[in-house]
Amino acid sequence: MMLWALSLPSIMALRAPGGPRAQWRRRAPHMTFESSVFSKEAIQIAGTEEEIVRGGRDLFEKLPKAFADIKQIGVIGWGSQAPAQAQNLRESLADTDIVVKVGLRPESSSWASAESVGFTEESGTLGEMFATIRESDLVVLLISDAAQAKLYKEIFEAMKPGATLGLSHGFLLGHLSSIGEKFPEDINVIAVCPKGMGPSVRRLYEQGKEINGAGINSSFGVHQDVTGKATEIALGWGIALGSPFMFETTLTDEYKSDIYGERGILLGGVHGMVEALFRRYQAQGMSSEDAFRRSCESITGAIAPAISKFGVKALYEDLLDADQKKEFDRAYAAAYPASREILQEIYDEVASGNEIRSVIMHGDRLDDFPIGKIDGTYTWQVGEKVRADRKGDDAADFPMDGFTAGVYVAMMMAQIDVLRAAGHSYSEIVNESVIEAVDSLCPYMHYRGVAFMVDNCSRTARLGSRKWAPRFDYLLEQQAFTAVDQSDLDTDHLITAFLNNPVHDAIDVCRSLRPSVDISCEAPSSVKEKIIA
């Protein structure tokens, strides 16, 4: 309670990177990796140096060397990432002797889906899950987080000594750490984590066939290397998925930033934000359709594309007029403290293991309490009508609303600042808070709606969105919007901090490494796929 007696600048000093709270936060160790197969590149990013590997189809010829001694890659599961990764790996390795085999439960409803894209028992590319694990030299484990937590002992027992366990999410490490267990000591453990949902991984790979590659950026990490080849395998995996660039992380940092991010600006935060803004604009006298356009359509159709192409700072400095800037300033100054409060709590809950335990406990009661949908509420029904009434690419359908931009950017910057204070690398911060939002998720939200994304994402993300979106909604309406309407705001302090934030340099660097084409959500292959975040 004493916190509320402090002035806003005092509160922000506690929360700001470099402030007292930040001093005790863990700083990420300097990471470096070596590769004799792929070339590293040092990049200067916000006053720090990081090493990355650029992708490209011209590197596919190096994959046999990166995958030396790997005769079979087993892709286990068929949810979001698995269809994309299995098909991309198969096509990238088409000129090699390496087999890409999908492993599923015999009774899996996804069996027919895997067959529909060419994985079959007859060809030796589709089989029972544990048999596939036993046969494979690289096991890409893409079953749900809850299933990994339930089946990990059987999975570990099935793996060959010296094989490599590949993860696209650090959730399993978080679970093992929370119960005092570890990975088997006789296997490699690596991660390649695309910074986008599976359909984006596949669609951009397809779009890149004519231009030497386009895809989703990936982080990679080597948690355990018993063969001395784990780094090459991880880099080869990322290259084969079509990643335009890969940056190094740890599995611990990955699961913290990933689980945190999807509860924030990637999904839960934007869900709660749209609900709050929609009601606010209605209360101000707008029609329901205009309220939805000024809130959701402004985010997905104008603000996110502008950030993707020009950056967050340029959105403010170059794309907003004077009146819009005034609205932005007021919204930002009110929404940043409210967003930062929730986002810090989310990060602490993830880092403590509480969010992971929550997901696992839900898995135990899923049969009795299945996850419901949100798309039947008035907000999202209006959204269906607004999307149906669009006039092509008419900019009038997607207004650049200064107030909405201020709220959206405030939440994005608050998410960034929490990750900065926790010591994450700038590549990870920007990809988890900006690139994934504006280049992967928002295009699909714009095409099918935020509610569709929330209702069809992974179980971990769906649970996180439902848990935290109401908190964002509540604090924006009860705290941020009240501050806008009833009190003077210290806009100068917060806007100055926003404009001087070193992350803008990092965003510019990462934008230069973004996919070489904009994702096309309307391609036949993508609209037939179930969109799962």
Count of CB atoms situated within 10 Å of the CB of 173: 22
Reduced to 3 states, what is the DSSP secondary structure of residue 218?
Answer: strand
Provide the b/e sequence for 121-136 (b: ≥16 CB within 10 Å). eeeebbbebbebbbbb
- In this structure, which amino acid lies at residue 504? H
Token digits of residue 167: 């993860």
169 belongs to the catalytic site = yes
436 marked as binding residue: yes
Determine the Cα–Cα distance for residues 264 and 474; give it in Å rounded to an integer: 14
Token digits of residue 194: 């695309």
Determine the Cα–Cα distance for residues 370 and 470; give it in Å rounded to an integer: 19
- Asked if residues 328 and 402 have their Cβ atoms less than 8 Å apart, the reply is yes
Please return the burial class of 50, using the count of CB atoms within 10 Å of its CB with bins 0-12, 13-18 and 19+: buried
- Asked if residues 282 and 291 have their Cβ atoms less than 8 Å apart, the reply is yes
Contact partners, residue 345, CB within 8 Å, separation at least 6 = none
Token digits of residue 310: 């020009």
Torsion sign across C-alpha atoms 231, 235, 238, 244:
positive
Reduced to 3 states, what is the DSSP secondary structure of residue 72?
Answer: strand
Q: How far apart are the first and last CA of the chain?
A: 38
Say what the alpha-carbon torsion angle 377, 378, 379, 381 is, to the nearest 10 degrees: 90
128 marked as binding residue: no
For 41, the enclosing helix (H) or strand (E) is strand 41-45
Place of tokens 């094989």: 163
458 marked as binding residue: yes
Q: Which of 268, 429, 243, 438 has its CA nearest to residue 339?
A: 268
Token digits of residue 27: 């700083």
- From the candidates 30, 169, 223, 362, give the one annotated as an active-site residue: 169
Cα–chain-centroid distance for residue 399? Answer: 26
Q: Please give the sequence-ordered ranges of beta strands (E in DSSP) within 91-198, or none if there are none.
A: 99-104, 126-128, 138-141, 164-167, 188-194
Count of CB atoms situated within 10 Å of the CB of 286: 16
219 marked as binding residue: no
Count of CB atoms situated within 10 Å of the CB of 18: 10
- The greatest distance separating any two alpha carbons of the chain, rounded to the nearest whole angstrom, comes to 71
Say what the alpha-carbon torsion angle 143, 148, 154, 160 is, to the nearest 10 degrees: 70
258 marked as binding residue: yes
Alpha helices, H only, 99-170:
111-116, 129-135, 145-158
- For the chain, helix (H) and strand (E) counts, in that order, are 28, 10
Place of tokens 């939200």: 445
Place of tokens 């602490």: 348
Which residues are annotated as part of the binding site? Answer: 258, 262, 432, 436, 458
Query: Known binding site for Mg(2+): residues?
Result: 258, 262, 432, 436
Binding residues for substrate, by number, are 458
Q: What positions carry a catalytic annotation?
A: 169
